[in-house]
C-alpha cells in the first residue's frame, strides 16, 4: 500500500491504483473526493511572547483544522486583526511592550464586538480585573482538550444557530 496526499485529503491506494489520476484533487482544490465543498477553515489569531508555547499551540490548532495566524506582541496582533478575516483571538495576558493581552482584547472588541476572545496567563492564576475577554484560562491549569472545546463553543456562539434550508418545491408537470 502507498499513501498519497492531495492537499488536505490523505488517500491510501494500492500499487495498481497509484498511476490513476484523481480528477478532484487537481481540478477543485477546495473540494473533497465526493465533490462536496469542504467547510471553510476558521481563523484563529494566536498571540504569545513565548515562541515555543506559540508554536505548540499553532500545531495543536492546525491539526484540528483551524487556520492559525501567530504573532509575539499585541501591537503586531492588532495590525493583523485590522486586516480582517480573524474568527477568534487567543492571547497571552502578560506580554512586553505597550499592548498586553487585556488591552489587545479591549481594542479588538471595540473593532468587532462579536469576535470571541480567550485570554490565558502563566503568571496569573486568577484574573479578577474587568476584561472584555470571553474566557480566561491560567496556563498549565487546563488540558488542551478543554481549550479546544472552549474554542469550538465560542465559534458556534459567534456563528449562531444553524439555519435550515427549505427545499424548493418541484415543478409539477401538467
Contact residues for 68 (Cβ-Cβ < 8 A; gap 6+): 43, 44, 46, 57, 58, 61, 62
Strands 88-92 and 117-121: parallel
pLDDT of residue 68: 97
Please report the beta strands in the chain, taking only residues with DSSP state E, as ranges in sequence order: 2-6, 9-13, 43-47, 67-71, 88-92, 117-121, 135-138
pLDDT of residue 78: 96
pLDDT tens, residue by residue, 57-81: 999 999 999 999 999 999 999 999 9
pLDDT of residue 169: 64
pLDDT of residue 166: 56
pLDDT of residue 13: 38
Domains of the chain: 43-159 (3.40.50.2300)
Q: Which residues of the chain have pLDDT under 50?
A: 1-36
Amino acid at each position: 500500500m502507498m499513501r498519497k496526499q492531495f492537499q488536505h485529503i490523505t488517500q491510501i491506494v494500492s500499487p495498481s491504483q497509484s498511476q490513476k489520476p484523481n480528477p478532484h484533487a487537481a481540478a477543485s482544490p477546495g473540494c473533497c473526493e465526493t465533490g462536496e465543498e469542504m467547510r471553510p477553515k476558521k481563523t484563529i489569531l494566536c498571540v504569545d511572547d513565548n515562541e515555543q508555547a506559540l508554536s505548540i499551540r499553532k500545531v495543536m490548532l492546525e491539526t484540528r483544522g483551524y487556520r492559525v495566524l501567530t504573532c509575539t506582541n499585541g501591537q503586531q496582533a492588532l495590525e493583523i486583526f485590522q486586516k480582517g478575516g480573524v474568527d477568534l483571538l487567543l492571547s497571552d495576558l502578560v506580554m512586553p511592550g505597550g499592548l498586553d493581552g487585556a488591552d489587545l482584547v479591549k481594542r479588538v472588541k471595540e473593532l468587532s464586538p462579536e469576535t470571541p476572545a480567550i485570554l490565558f496567563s502563566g503568571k496569573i492564576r486568577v484574573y479578577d480585573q474587568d476584561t472584555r475577554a470571553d474566557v480566561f484560562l491560567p496556563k498549565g491549569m487546563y488540558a488542551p482538550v478543554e481549550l479546544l472545546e472552549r474554542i469550538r463553543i465560542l465559534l458556534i456562539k459567534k456563528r449562531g444557530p444553524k439555519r435550515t434550508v427549505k427545499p424548493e418545491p418541484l415543478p409539477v408537470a401538467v
